[in-house]
A and B are shown apart, each in its own frame.
Chain A
Amino acid sequence: MTLTLRGRVQTRLLMTLTCGLPAALVAAATLPGRQSSNLMQSAGSVVAVLVLMTLLGIIWEGIYHGLQQRRAERDWPSLVALLAVFAELTPLALAVTVLPVELRPSSASSFVVPVLTAWVAVWLMVQGPLRVLLPRWRLSGGQLW
């Protein structure tokens, strides 16, 4: 991928909202042991975690952009983009503790599964299907506006 800093941030914001969030909500709803009574609470928790992830993500994108400067061709390999979630998970888990108790994930799986699902969904979308909806996206370093 060849992204500019603006493209990174804009793509993350748009894709988390339109692709990551729905995927994470579906993943949270289909977790085993989930009762219909706490679906709303679970959805609220997913939204809160993803908002936090996006806010932290803006900082992360700055870090990734800095690391990109160390690459001779100023590109960002797809594999690195996929695996970057493992760098983001621990700081996110710590940041989740600042959320109100009712918005915190009730278990490790209810935190990890929606986050990983959202990440992989966004990554897959960016690898190809996004270009169908936004044909100029790949030509402009990921910038959308």
Chain B
Amino acid sequence: MRSPQVQVRSGPFCDESDLRCLPVQDVEVLSIGGGLGSFALIDVLRVLGIPTGDLRVAGPDPDPALGFRHLAHCSQLRDHDRLRSDSGARIDNIWGFPGYALEEAIARRSPRPLLRVLGEPMLCDPFAPVSGHVYHGVAREAARIGWPHMHQRLRAQRIRLHRNGGLVTFATDDCGQQHAIRARAVHLALGYPALGLTRHLRRFRGRFGEFPTVVHAYEPHEQLYASLPAGANVLVCGAGATAARVIERLSEGGGAAQTRPRIIHLVRRTHPRSTVNDPAVWNWQHYTVPKGAFGGQLATHVAHACTEGSRHRRLRALTAPSAPPRAGLPGLLTRAAAEGRYRAIVGEIHSLEPADGDRIRAQIRGDDAHLAPDDLLVDAVIDCTGLVGRAGEHGLLADLVATGLARENSFGRLTVSADFEVREARHGQARIFASGAMSLGTDIGPVDSYWGLQAAALRIADALAASGMCRPLTMRNSLAGWVRWMRGVTP
């Protein structure tokens, strides 16, 4: 039987009367999201000895890697493909040791992964873990820390400050029943709220409905590759790693060059390092940010910015779209260009509409707005412009901002302190933290990388330890936790 739906107050506070008709749970820490961001924090807190009964995770999937895996699969990163991550950025191990390379070397009984780590990036492309190994490690660690006991299939709707202290999260389950979870600390790790459809693609869908040949790269679109006619023209938008993978996938088809798809690659602007004679559209970079931004010199450069505006400018420069140059992709593009199967153009979609014979007419406007747009007739459009990270696109975060419990920064993400706390929501001992994509703007650049999620988790754990909610991560605790990890023993 459904319990009555309770209207949540519009202000930032609630009291006992709001909880009267609801099943209420009391925990120390609630992590909302249930993906890898939640997993990174809960893993640290479990290593620090917080029992599973004091931790709760609200999210749609029981497997913390499922959301990431779904997006990876859609964007052509299959389980046997390698991620864009380094050996030490282990999401299932807060120490990053032993790295993925050592684990793979043992599994394959080959020193090659270790030699790659030794020689990277000068003698060879950097080592990158196989996605399937990463998912397997996450599942193993989730079982070790008792993730199933902490996870609940709940969709968090609203967060309110309780007048008597603490935070109350109102959430609904699959049956629509409302629950209340009272916690001392709430952690938001919601990832990206939506697909970053270009304006014209949104308008196209609004006018003509969904076409199987006009897709976003993060939507399931496997059938598109199989259904392309021989010698099809495909418009690929975007200059990041996803665009690179999609182009690689389109170029994979065997047979004669004439029967393979012809790729028209649309980018909004050339890379800043390109020259007049060499208008580069790709920013080749091994990781999502330069390596020195993973805690090194470039991270310090961001952290030492005098103002928030200056920090955000530095972050924007660091997090510009880029693609990993591994697996010979630059060479593949050169060959495809020579065979007339790849052409890069700089501009934006001016209009998009269906044409005769299941084709799509795309008008592309270049840099010069006075020139008439180019007309392209293509068989498919694949939008690889990423995901939307604006807090306002997510119902829960939009409500937090509306009630004054959070503030958006210039990236449209949540403003968080150096220890990832949403300071506007501080209420007595109660704290809200945010990590992952929603925390872009803090002094850590790659917030949505494995490394960034772990760095945030450690800082949040330090803040919780300072407020007496858990023991601090000392050398002794760390070593003891690592030994238990190596033995596969529950923390």
Contact = CB atoms under 8 A, between A and B. Distances in A.
Interface of A: 1-5, 7, 68, 71-75, 77-80, 82, 128-129, 131-136, 138-141
Contacts of B482: 132
A69 to B, nearest CB: 8
B122 A80 contact: yes
B340 interface: no
Interface stretch (B6-14, B113-121, B377-385, B397-405): B113-121
Contacts of A74: 290-292, 296-298
Interface of B: 88, 94-99, 102, 117-123, 285-286, 290-300, 451, 454-455, 458, 473, 475, 478-479, 482
B88 A138 contact: yes
Contacts of A128: 88, 96-99, 102
B296 A132 contact: no
A133 B478 contact: yes
Contact of B88 (A3, A68, A77, A131): A131
Contacts of A129: 97
Nearest to A2: B296
Q: Which of A129, A133, A139, A140 has the most CB of B within 10 A?
A: A139
Contacts of A133: 475, 478-479
Contact of B295 (A77, A79, A80, A141): A141
A139 B290 contact: no
Nearest to A133: B475
A135 B94 contact: yes
Contacts of A141: 295-297, 299-300
Contact of B291 (A7, A75, A82, A139): A75
Nearest to A72: B290
A27 to B, nearest CB: 22
A17 to B, nearest CB: 15
8 contacts: A2-B296, A73-B298, A74-B296, A131-B95, A132-B97, A132-B479, A135-B473, A139-B455
Contact of B118 (A4, A79, A138, A139): A79
Contacts of B299: 2, 141
Top 4 closest pairs, chain A to chain B, by CB: A2-B296, A74-B292, A75-B291, A128-B97
Nearest to A134: B475
Given A77-B122, A79-B118, A80-B122, A131 B296 contact: no
A62 to B, nearest CB: 13
B117 A68 contact: no
Interface of A is mostly: loop
B297 A2 contact: yes
A2 B294 contact: yes
A78 B458 CA distance: 25
B359 to A, nearest CB: 42
Given A4-B297, A128-B98, A73 B88 contact: no
A79 B117 CA distance: 9
A3 B297 CA distance: 6
A15 B207 CA distance: 65
A124 B441 CA distance: 34
A71 B292 CA distance: 10
B187 to A, nearest CB: 18
B190 to A, nearest CB: 23
A12 B425 CA distance: 41
B478 A77 contact: no
A82 to B, nearest CB: 8
A21 B64 CA distance: 44
B458 A139 contact: yes
A128 B93 CA distance: 12
B13 to A, nearest CB: 36
Q: Which of A4, A78, A138, A140 has the most CB of B within 10 A?
A: A138
Given A73-B121, A73-B290, 4 more contacts: A77-B122, A78-B117, A80-B122, A139-B295
Nearest to B478: A135
Contacts of B294: 2
B12 to A, nearest CB: 33
A138 B455 CA distance: 9
Contacts of A80: 122
A1 B294 CA distance: 9
A73 B291 contact: yes
A48 B454 CA distance: 40
Nearest to A71: B292
A135 B462 CA distance: 12
A47 B286 CA distance: 41
A75 B122 contact: no
A112 to B, nearest CB: 22
A134 B479 CA distance: 9
A57 B333 CA distance: 45
A131 B97 contact: yes
B88 A79 contact: no
A72 B287 CA distance: 13
B471 to A, nearest CB: 14
Contacts of B96: 128, 131, 138
A2 B473 contact: no
Given A133-B478, A135-B95, A140 B295 contact: yes
Contacts of B300: 4, 141
A43 B300 CA distance: 39
Contacts of B290: 72-75
Given A74-B291, A128-B97, A4 B478 contact: no
Q: Which of B298, B300, B458 has the most CB of A within 10 A?
A: B300
B486 to A, nearest CB: 9
